[in-house]
Structure 1
Amino acid sequence: MEFTPVTHVLFDMDGLILNTENLYTVAFQNIVSKYGKDYTFELKLKLMGSQTHETANTIVKELDLPMTPEEFIIESKKQFELLFPDTEVLPGAKRLIEHLHNKNFPIGLATSSSEESYHLKIDKHHQALFSLFPYKTFGSSDPNVKRGKPYPDIFLVAANKFPENPKPEQCLVFEDAVNGVKAAKAAGMQVVMVPDQRLDKRMTTDATLVLNSLEDFKPEIFGLPPFDD
Structure 2
Amino acid sequence: MSVPDEQDDPYADATAVAVAASSIPGEFLVPDLVETFTAEHPEAVVDTVVTDSAGVFTALRDGSAEVGFAGAEPDGDDLDAEVVAADEIVLAVPRGHALDTGEPVTVAQLAATPLVEREEGSGTRRSFTDALAERGTPLITAQQWTIRDTNEGVIEAVAAGDGVGVVSAWALARHARAEVREVRVEGDPIERCLYLVLRRDDDLGPAATSFVALAREQSWV
TM-score, length-scaled by structure 1: 0.30
| Greater radius of gyration (CA) | 2
TM-score in terms of structure 2 length: 0.31
